[in-house]
Structure 1
Amino acid sequence: MLSYLGLTGFWLYVVIFLGKMAEVCFSTLRIMFVGKSRKLEGAIFGFIEIALWVIVVSSVLDGLAQDPMKAVIYCVAFTLGIPLGVKIENLLAVGLTSVQVVAANAEGEKIGTVLREHGFGVTFLDGHSVDGTKRELVFVQLRRKRINYAIRLIREVAPDAVISVSDLRSFRGGFLR
């Protein structure tokens, strides 16, 4: 298909490479948005993804027997497009997450105070470790863009706390900023 534009050789390879990488990035974003129940964004990215796919694949298949390098370029672009798509998805950090912290009892209260001072909603539960030591469980729901900030605050107060992070599909009630 791109050969109709007069592209051959090196420039055709460049366009196949960039087109396939872009398609894989859009595929990653489509999957991310659909997984977060954001159907409109998922549909838009899906449309762009499939349009790029049709253009790139038709260009690769056109004269493939005479120029097998197009298939190699296509495969390399697919392989490199995956980590690039994941990187873009992480930079966008769309969605919500939950952070759970297990800390020594005194540290749990300090963590909660610091997080609340920085605008996070915090919930506490009392717990016990396997040896019976009293622990404080701290729960925070937040936007993904704020995960690193929250974890940095927690680590400053309680460097030995156990921290786990989970993606949330939805969130109702409570406090979220």
Structure 2
Amino acid sequence: MFDFLDVYPWLLPFIIFLGRVIDVSLGTLRIIFVSKGEKYKAPIIGFIEVFIWVMVISQVLSRANDLVSYLSYAAGYATGNYIGILLENRIAYGIVLCRIYTQKNGNALIQTLNKLDFGATLTHGSGSTNEVDIIETVVDRKELKTLEATINSFDNNSFYVIEDVRTKQNGIFPKRKSLLDRWRIGK
């Protein structure tokens, strides 16, 4: 399969590097999908990840006998981790719970969040210095920047915590848009 490397041996470190970048980036995504309970996506990504790894490691063991190839393997691993994290941040897969603590009237924030199609719950609590309103909302990670901007425009001094959520059920959540919605006639 890699017979061309006998003619162009200088390509081996590049192939090793690129293979490891792809392999490790896919591994990062696979771990995310496993942690979110995606039982169909994780195995498919895992299959591709291991297939690429086996191809790369076979070339390393059969042809690579110099320091440049070994460094390419290590550099590809490190770069793959970095790119995997960038991809994870870019796709923003999953849902989060945001718990907001504010000394302002939380009902105003609830109304603002409802206008953005974010369901929210308000409770009252006692903080270390004053009474606080505690607002909880569950949103898609893709909506996190909008949520943070809304919170900060409402109260710059609010304190909020964001936690990953594995599943959600029986709440007020905006309907997801399908990829086909934008091409439907009459929209």
Which TM-score band applies after superposition, normalised by the shorter structure? over 0.9
Aligned residue in 1 for 2:87: 88
Amino acid at match of 1:99: C
Amino acid at match of 2:127: S
1:105–1:134 CA contact under 8 A, matched in 2? no
Aligned residue in 1 for 2:44: 44
1:118 deviates by: 1.1
Aligned residue in 2 for 1:111: 109
Find 2:140's aligned residue among 137, 140, 143: 143
1:124–1:138 CA contact under 8 A, matched in 2? yes
Q: Which runs of 4+ in 1 moved over 4 A?
A: none
Aligned residue in 1 for 2:31: 31
2:30–2:46 CA contact under 8 A, matched in 1? yes
Distance of 1:17 and 1:9 partners within structure 2: 14
Aligned residue in 1 for 2:10: 10
Aligned residue in 2 for 1:69: 68
Partner SS for 1:97: strand
1:80 deviates by: 1.1
2:104–2:155 CA contact under 8 A, matched in 1? no
Amino acid at match of 1:44: I
Aligned residue in 2 for 1:123: 121
1:111–1:158 CA contact under 8 A, matched in 2? no
Unaligned runs of 5+ in 2: 175-187
1:93–1:145 CA contact under 8 A, matched in 2? yes
1:112 deviates by: 1.4
Distance of 2:10 and 2:161 partners within structure 1: 47
Partner SS for 2:138: strand
User: What is the TM-score of this pair, normalised by structure 1?
Assistant: 0.92
Amino acid at match of 2:40: L
Q: State the number of aligned residues.
A: 173
1:69 deviates by: 1.4
User: What is the TM-score of this pair, normalised by structure 2?
Assistant: 0.88
Find 2:157's aligned residue among 137, 157, 160: 160
What is the root-mean-square deviation in Å for CA atoms of aligned residues? 1.4
Amino acid at match of 1:29: L
**Aligned residues: percent identity?**
27
1:85 deviates by: 0.3
